Structure 1
Amino acid sequence: MGQILFVVWRESVEAMLVIGILYSWLRHNPAGRSGLPWLWGGVGLGVALAGTLGAGILFFDESLSSAGQDYFKLAMTTAASALIVQMVIWMRRHGRTLKKDMESGLAARSAAGRWWGVTTLTALAVAREGSETVVFLYGMGLGQQGLTRASFAATAVSGVALAVATYWLLQKGGRMISWRFFFRLTEGLLLLLAASLLMNSVEQLISLDLVPALVDPLWDSSALIDDSSTMGSLFATFTGYRSHPALTMLLAYVGYWLAVYKLTRPSAAPAERVAA
């Protein structure tokens, strides 16, 4: 449940950031006010596109055999892990100039009267965040967690509500709560979540006899933190920790963090304050 809340919250805040940048520019520029209906049209279109993707994934999943679902779940879990890392890298490289780049694009479209470009830009931005959320949530195996539709919907709504409050605080908080702090904190949590998803993938690869376990278990740390306990399970969910890991899982975990270090090191500069 905590993973759902975190993912919906983080992705919703990022979507609100993009919408906020576009809205602020259009609202405060006389030439841009005509584009406001196109902005909200883009928001609706983006949500619809993300919803269509979610429905398509669920439909495809239900049409597969039991074995096919296992392989599809494996592919989506691995994709979700890779997508999280890619998203963090993208924000590190483009976060500092995000506001400037978007406002430059809006100015060009406003001058040319091409308001459909605002709809397209907004729809793509919202659909990107929504699609990432769909892939992340499916990759976490929500269908296997025993969640009812009502409990999932309540958690998702809570995540959006929390995102609204967070966005307001980030806009009003000044130095106390900055966009830079927000991105630095959530980047770390996202990378831990991606590591957890990768461990799920490796675990499934081993269970399907697609890769060898090598040594299983490599150790037993359940006396310290038992991943079958309530707190241990929560810790494992967000970090990929296993109290009885196979050697293959340990090698994958170490390899993941080495790859993350190498990929993020050249763009180590964090996202600056990009909101209006």
Structure 2
Amino acid sequence: MLAPLLIMLREGLEAALVVAIIATYLKRTGRGAWIGAIWVGVLFALALSLFVGAGLQALQAEFPQRAQEGFEAIVALVAVGVLVWMVFWMRAAARSIRATLETGIDAAFTENGPGQGTVWALIAMSFFAVAREGLESVFFLLAIFQQAPGPTAPLAALLGIVISIALGWGLYAGGLKLNLRLFFRASGLFILFVAAGLFSGALRSLHEAGLWNWLLTPAWDLSHELPLSSVAGAVLSALFGYHESPSFGEVLAWALFLVCTLPFFLRPAPIAQPQEA
């Protein structure tokens, strides 16, 4: 399943990129002995993400059916917000992320010296970088798993994480060269379409929860031409939130989301300043 694989590949690569930048700079500046502190922060961040994901799953299981639909809508809307923030944050930050991290490392050693304060500073840097991606992933995966139950989506997400770890190691080792700008731009465009499907699906969940009762007339009915039970229908549903008989409200929500986000994403990025190179 392409959607969870690509999202987790992107999320994992963002986290791996930050960790690789920190580790590479420590090694290059003769501070390689401090790299172990980075992995402590990574493990703390992974533990937090797993704890939050398990807690939300347990919380959802306690709700009655209509409340579960409302909870699914909230999770989907949060996931949409997280995905949009992730896409635009990386678009803006990618040009200066290396300089920002390296400046932070130098400041940690300058202010704290080679002691316990520096250890906690390095732990915090890796923790917040990985925790941000991990918590984003929790809400996205919950929303995707609700739309595509079964083992395929979790396995695809796991594969995306494995690939991102391998790419991160390749970047750290220095033998792998990636056009990160092209990767993040292409994946960002795809993610916006995924988020549009989640947004329209949230409207459907709100209706099933009894919280939305407008624009419910079906826009079209493709249950015979492209049913959800077909392979193509299942793939489109998992990728873009396709529904065989969407309401006018769902179609309008999907279109308005893309109209509001695509022009900002596709506009030319400002030229980076020399000090951010």
> 8 Å contact 2:9–2:161 — kept in the other structure?
yes
Q: Equivalent residue for 2:12?
A: 12
The aligned amino acid for 2:10 is R
Tell me how large the CA RMSD over aligned residues is: 2.8
Whole-Å Cα distance in 2 between the matches of residues 167 and 3 of structure 1? 20
> 8 Å contact 2:198–2:241 — kept in the other structure?
yes
Which structure 2 segments of 5+ residues have no match? Answer: 273-277
Q: Equivalent residue for 2:250?
A: 249
Whole-Å Cα distance in 1 between the matches of residues 26 and 213 of structure 2? 56
Q: Equivalent residue for 1:274?
A: none
Which structure 1 segments of 5+ residues have no match? Answer: 272-276
Q: TM (normalized to structure 1)?
A: 0.84
Whole-Å Cα distance in 1 between the matches of residues 147 and 266 of structure 2? 36
Residues 232 and 66 from structure 1, CA distance in 2 versus in 1: closer, same or farther, beyond 3 angstroms? closer
Whole-Å Cα distance in 2 between the matches of residues 172 and 224 of structure 1? 48
Whole-Å Cα distance in 1 between the matches of residues 194 and 206 of structure 2? 19
Q: 1:137 aligns with which of 132, 136, 141?
A: 141
Q: Kindly provide the CA deviation profile for residues 52-71 of structure 1, in whole angstroms up to 9, marking residues without a partner as x.
A: 21122122222333332222
Q: Equivalent residue for 1:181?
A: 182
Partner SS state of residue 150, structure 2 = coil
Partner SS state of residue 185, structure 2 = helix
> 8 Å contact 1:21–1:99 — kept in the other structure?
yes
> 8 Å contact 2:72–2:205 — kept in the other structure?
no
Residues 153 and 88 from structure 1, CA distance in 2 versus in 1: closer, same or farther, beyond 3 angstroms? closer
Whole-Å Cα distance in 1 between the matches of residues 271 and 213 of structure 2? 38
Aligned residues: 266
Identity value in percent = 28
Partner SS state of residue 13, structure 1 = helix
Q: 2:128 aligns with which of 117, 124, 127?
A: 124
Correspondence 1:83-232 to 2 at 5 A? 83-112=82-111, 113=113, 114-115=117-118, 116-142=120-146, 145-147=149-151, 154-167=155-168, 172=175, 174=177, 177-214=178-215, 216-221=217-222, 225-232=226-233
Whole-Å Cα distance in 1 between the matches of residues 164 and 6 of structure 2? 10
